[in-house]
Chain A
């Protein structure tokens, strides 16, 4: 496999020439600006809302909860209101909406609204939520509870040589997409048009159809979207609701445009997690059983927490074969900003926990971490925690072996250990650690990870994604789908797949604007599903187009044409696809997805094929720690990904590099704290993501092991690179300090404390 310069991103040209128009670039006549007045408290009763008489309220439009008939954002639980009416449940929750013709008036109006709150007790700690007197969701503050059992965990316990326990935690993470959230609502007589930065136009449509109770026709159009990472999956439904309410009431188009600070303060974050895990192992480190307890912090409202939890639970045993499993997973409510979708969607938390548990097993049994991993890797024919038998496209061992060899892991592990020993010894003795000016502590860590491609469980069968391909007057196939480009390469992938199926140039294929009036619902652009699921529909559609064109041609000419690599051929004549297609302009094919019947899942008992297939990755991170300042950097990063088939090689490499760096950010750069229930970050200045100067030397390899139902064998890729990065980096810190790092992120300040603890212990 190699790079192909002709296979550049189809959206690149417009972006490089600055022709791509994001929502803030659109000139919308008469545009007003909207904003929300938000709760400053994590939980409170709204006692009154007063509008200062000294302000001329005719200049603006105001919306409060009372005016909204269906005041809930239709999602999984419908528990989140567009505006709080009686109780606010998180600091930052919207209470009043205002729109004005200009931002100055808007700000002025905002200063003249007074909301009177009675502070109420609140709960921020996910572990205290369940038994708290503060009731946010139901009686127990549990959005969802999942139990998965396989085999008999008691038996594993009885046969165990060692019982290894570990608690681990992960923190919030902010998406920090380049383009902050932005949506415009344009009111018409019976219709509202929503235009903006988004991943899932049909999610917004569903939420607004419900909000308007069918009284308005809702059209949702995706504008160019500058990054999302899951942050524009669920959140825009709330924002679009706000814009629509203000637009309908004011009669003006209304923009809800966040600046960076509002964006990082009130939009969803990755779910923090807490794991309490027990492994039963034999003396070689073989895992006999896993007993896992998982908590996810869902924040104040459910959003997608139930599905995030499902993915966490279904990923919790990692890339390992475990005969006896018991998993108890809970997503709980707290008085924080609702957590939401984020690349990996529960997977990164789960893989971090299991990988650290493996580190602990190695630590306890005095084995190298690669030895424990290798011994337990799952293989074709073996089954997962839900009893899903992996029948095809299983590459845990292949990716693992490849990355260990390429990175020279074992040799470096030993060399670095030896090199670190004297530095560490001095450090722990409390003397100056260096012998040479450039002495560094060098670590090498590894991880194996997987990502179930497509929706979890029966999700795909419920969504039943639908696409249409239509031949236009010029004989060009036009793709109608609701998949969105957000910088990940969706347009390129879909065009490539159809072009390859039809054996024609990619330039001959068109994509329709993502507009819910025009395109069918092919499902949201999430869950690493677009290439694999929607791509497979395109392959089917392409094949059908060929066969229908062939039939038409033959019945019209009475000859027997067959299709050969872009041409219809009958021995005498050879006609290009385009020529024939032009004759039958208007021909269209529709395809609807459901899993191949062989894939079955029971989401009540949590048994069966949780995902149609998994993608696999293994990574090795070489980490350096400055023994004086404890600054941490990743010097080199090796990863091997098995993704079925790379639809666009360069793009796949770029996804892997970017996702890995984002995962490195999750491990050692990105930290969000809470201060009085509020996130303590305001933007790029204080939320530190790795910059290009922090990019390690990256060595990426792609393996292909086709998925029989994917387009040309392709599986999902988008999320996987993120998943294994943090555990690989932290594994390197375990290796350096021989200390269990169990909480993400790890900062130099944490290393400083750890070294102090170790020093005290040694003394």
Chain B
């Protein structure tokens, strides 16, 4: 940290908004700091630090309603994992949170940080995409937050649409029909814990009589952005998946992603494995084995 930076610790949203109003950007919002602390250069350059964990609404909110849950952007993963309603109604989210870093990271890291950090490898992002989460962006104007979807927020690696004075306030996730629901979140990394994904895949769908009523598929770490694979979904929707159809879906997802080779993996491996993980998920869901 440089010597002349200011740390703000607003107690609530009102104070937060006032601080933003009365000070000159850039601001560095700090939640769990699990990304920030390792980005030493940014950390050092940061002038106005705003601690979001002191903002009670952002740090405390885990509000369950009938049809949705609203999670404060600065609520640590471990609280999400421990919430019994979320565990029951949003198991795919819990699974993603559990696979982030390690217990220590889960005790500090937040969904808001994962989203704002905008890494294509962020593990919660594909899950938030298939859950069709609403991201509430503050400050609220006349009590109204700006609401966006995940794929609208992230514009590229490390890039978001958030303005200098904007922050993520809440993540609102609708509860979905549970009848016929199937889901999977898979993460492929170089070790069992504390690994940045080489690729990940989230699948959420609904079956009726063996027919796919709806399906949402989103990958991570295999494209500069987080996008659902709508053409792959299209192949499966309203169909009764068999090996041939799944093969078509796998072919399609290979085309819908645009992985690169970097220090963590190769383009070819990522493309191939994303498709095979999708196949694995679908075969297991539909109990299709080479009988």
| Residue ranges of A at the interface with B (Cβ–Cβ < 8 Å) | 104, 259, 426, 431-432, 434-437, 628-631, 633, 669, 673, 680-681, 685-686, 688, 690-694, 747-749, 752-753
Contacts and interface: CB of A to CB of B under 8 A. Distances in A.
Contacts, number: 74
Contacts of A747: 190
14 contacts: A432-B288, A435-B290, A629-B188, A629-B277, A633-B192, A680-B263, A686-B263, A693-B191, A694-B191, A694-B193, A748-B188, A748-B273, A749-B269, A752-B272
Nearest to B287: A437
Interface of B: 2-3, 38, 40, 102, 188, 190-196, 243, 263-266, 268-269, 272-273, 276-277, 279-280, 283-284, 288-290
Given A686-B263, A752-B273, A631 B290 contact: no
B283 A690 contact: no
B286 to A, nearest CB: 12
B290 A432 contact: yes
B88 to A, nearest CB: 23
Contacts of A432: 243, 279-280, 283, 288-290
Nearest to B280: A628
Contacts of A629: 188, 273, 276-277
A693 B277 CA distance: 22
A686 B269 CA distance: 18
A107 B273 CA distance: 44
Given A434-B283, A629-B277, A693-B191, A752 B268 contact: yes
Which of the listed residues A692, A749, A752, A753 has the most CB atoms from chain B within 10 Å of its own CB? A749
Contacts of B263: 673, 680-681, 686
B191 A688 contact: yes
Contacts of A436: 289
Given A432-B290, A694-B191, 13 more contacts: A434-B289, A628-B273, A628-B277, A629-B273, A669-B191, A681-B263, A688-B195, A694-B193, A748-B188, A748-B269, A749-B265, A749-B269, A752-B268
A691 B103 CA distance: 13
Contacts of B40: 259
Contacts of A688: 190-191, 195
Contacts of A104: 2-3
A763 B284 CA distance: 28
A631 B269 CA distance: 11
Contacts of B188: 629, 631, 748
Given A691-B192, A693-B191, A752-B268, A435 B289 contact: yes
Contacts of A685: 38, 196
Nearest to A103: B44
Contact of B280 (A434, A631, A692): A434
A426 B290 contact: yes
Contacts of B2: 104
Contact of A749 (B191, B266, B276, B289): B266
By Cβ-Cβ distance, the 7 closest A-B pairs, closest first, are A693-B193, A693-B192, A688-B190, A749-B269, A628-B280, A686-B263, A629-B188
Nearest to B274: A629
B196 to A, nearest CB: 7
B269 A628 contact: no
Given A437-B284, A681-B263, A686-B264, A691 B193 contact: yes
Contacts of B102: 691, 693
B276 A694 contact: no
A692 to B, nearest CB: 8
B289 A690 contact: no
Contacts of A669: 190-191
Nearest to A688: B190
Contacts of B279: 432, 628
A111 B288 CA distance: 62
A455 to B, nearest CB: 36
A259 B40 CA distance: 11
B272 A694 contact: no
Which of the listed residues A432, A630, A633 has the most CB atoms from chain B within 10 Å of its own CB? A432
A749 B3 CA distance: 45
Nearest to B279: A432
B163 to A, nearest CB: 29
A630 B268 CA distance: 13
A393 to B, nearest CB: 38
Given A432-B289, A434-B283, A690 B276 contact: no
Contacts of B280: 432, 434, 628
A628 B190 contact: no
A633 B191 CA distance: 8
Which of the listed residues A104, A629, A673 has the most CB atoms from chain B within 10 Å of its own CB? A629
B264 A691 contact: no
A259 B41 CA distance: 13
B191 A628 contact: no
Given A629-B276, A681-B263, A752 B269 contact: yes
Which of the listed residues A259, A436, A628, A681 has the most CB atoms from chain B within 10 Å of its own CB? A628
Contacts of A630: 269, 273
Contacts of B191: 669, 688, 690-691, 693-694
Contacts of A749: 265-266, 268-269
Contacts of A681: 263
Nearest to A422: B290
A518 B249 CA distance: 73
Contacts of B193: 691-694
A400 B82 CA distance: 48
A556 to B, nearest CB: 63
Contacts of B266: 749
A691 B104 CA distance: 14
Nearest to A633: B192
A229 B264 CA distance: 25
Contacts of B272: 752
A564 B122 CA distance: 68
A633 B190 CA distance: 10
Nearest to B192: A693
Contacts of B289: 432, 434-436
A628 B276 contact: yes
Contacts of B288: 432
A755 B40 CA distance: 41
Which of the listed residues B190, B264, B283 has the most CB atoms from chain A within 10 Å of its own CB? B190
A735 to B, nearest CB: 22
A431 B247 CA distance: 10
Contacts of A753: 268
Contacts of B194: 691, 693
